[in-house]
Chain A
Amino acid sequence: MADTLTKEPDYSAGRSVGSLYWAVLRRELLLFFRRRSDLLNPLVFFLLVASLFPLGVSPDPTFLAQVAPGVVWVAALLSTLLSMDGLFRSDFDDGTLEQTLLSPQPMFVVGLAKVSAHWIMTGLPLTLLAPLIAVMLFLPADGMAGLVLTLLLGTPTLSLIGAIGAALTVGLRKGGVLLSLLVLPLYVPVLIFGSSAVQAAINGLPVSGHLALLGAMLALGVVMAPLAIGAALRISVSG
């Protein structure tokens, strides 16, 4: 304590964007691991939707094979949306969000790290689980690679878009419904290109066009969404 105010603090260590990204990412992953039920919730939901669908509609393999791309994609989209609301909620409630906004560090990096952690904990497991579900729904083997690839490109975009909505609604006590309404229209293009790519793969058509479009959406999201997240969080906290 003695020489705190005279000593110029070493900013160079904290300045490094990479180390900040890793610090936030590590903290978020640690938090996810400490609350494992939150981790399992979207996965269980994903599995339930996909396994109830044949029971509710028709167990006929040819019919299921036709709707499988759509069902897997819709289920993945909804379970991502389900997990979105909690992204900033606990930080907002215990005051760590305020502290994040008051830090001199760029919110872009913090936002990106938080979304990355969210994707690693929801989008990535969903993508890995998808082939299993696809087999359950009799998705033809030709479509399998396409399904995994589109989900790999699509789910991070879903996380990025959803995080903007979560940041905008975090200040509201009951923001869940508003979040869905805000985010769902923006999810539609991802869903359309994602499921139609799988359909194209099944029919033996080239999928590179669809994948390129999904990739473009992801690139745009990575660049723009963290800016929007930072601005949205400032609005939410100042209210």
Chain B
Amino acid sequence: MIVENLYCERDDRVLFEDLGFSLMKGEVLQIEGQNGSGKTTLLRILAGLSSHFEGDIYWRGLPLMDVQDDFRRDMLYFGHQPGVKAMLSPEENLRWYAAMHPAIDLDRMATALDAVGLNGYEDVPCHSLSAGQHRRVSLARLYMTAAPLWILDEPFTAIDKAGVAKQEMLIQRHAELGGSVILTTHHELHLGSHMRRINLDQLAGT
């Protein structure tokens, strides 16, 4: 993925201009910045959810607009809202994800739920789970997906220490296998040579 000359303005405030980077296979890109610096906006733009920007984004060498279907198939987005239906159980939520995203493999659901510590909660409606467990339901997708690109917006919020360590390991594994990750977090990540950082505060205009 290559991003060139990205410019975004919101409520008469320039969030970033002339932002450019490239993300290769096996790289983890951490977007840093203070609250309100445009991290979520940037991720939404990169995921193709928002079109309020100027500049070019290329996916596998082609303009993102032309290969949207392929891009959506190759990408997993974990958003600001976890995307979990409170009225459905974790299992029903994941079944729906598997129906919507062909890259998500339903056969791995049991191991995924086990890995995020939701074993025994499969049939409990999500509204009776804690905030952290709620987000874990959505994060269980990371164990089930074959998509090479992950875009994660604050994946560690409301997750306990052991859970964060586990997610970090998962992200590292993903990078080692040739996947790429773009994420925002205020958490210090220790991923060695795979890591790169972009700080939006330094790019902010007036």
B55 at the interface (CB under 8 A from A): no
Query: Separation in Å of the B171 CB from the closest CB of chain A?
Result: 12
Which of chain A's residues have a CB closer than 8 A to the CB of B146? 4-5, 7, 9
User: Is B48's CB within 8 Å of the partner chain A?
Assistant: yes
The interface residues of chain A lying within 8 Å CB-to-CB of B143 are 1
Interface size class of B (residues with CB under 8 A): 35 or more
CA distance A10 to B106 in the complex (A): 11
Most buried by B among A6, A34, A237: A34
Q: Which of B69, B72, B97, B100 has the most CB of A within 10 A?
A: B100
| Interface segment, one of A48-56, A69-77, A96-104, A179-187 | A96-104
Q: Which of B53-95 contact A (CB under 8 A)?
A: 69-70, 72-73, 75, 77, 79-88, 92, 95
Residues of A within 8 A of B49 (CB): 98, 101-102, 237-238
Given contacts A102-B48, A102-B49, contact A31 B100 (CB under 8 A): no
B101 at interface (Cβ–Cβ under 8 A)?
A: yes
Task: Determine if A102 and B75 form an interchain contact, defined as CB atoms under 8 angstroms apart.
Answer: yes
Chain B's closest residue to A91 (CB) is B85
Q: When A4-B145, A94-B81, A95-B83 are in contact, do A11 and B102 touch as well, CB less than 8 Å?
A: yes
Min CB distance, B118 to chain A, in Å?
17
Taking a contact as CB atoms under 8 Å apart, the answer to whether B101 and A95 are in contact is no
Q: How far does the alpha carbon of A238 sit from the alpha carbon of B49 in the complex, in Å?
A: 5
Contacts of B47 in A (CB 8 A): 102
With A5-B179, A19-B99, A27-B92 as contacts: A98 and B50 at CB distance below 8 Å: no
| Between-chain CB contacts (< 8 Å), 10 pairs | A5-B177, A13-B102, A23-B95, A30-B88, A35-B87, A95-B80, A95-B81, A98-B77, A98-B79, A99-B100
Given contact pairs A10-B102, A35-B87, a sample of 16 additional A-B residue pairs in the complex whose CB atoms are under 8 Å apart: A1-B108, A5-B146, A5-B177, A9-B105, A14-B102, A23-B95, A27-B96, A31-B85, A34-B87, A34-B88, A95-B81, A95-B84, A96-B83, A102-B77, A104-B69, A110-B100
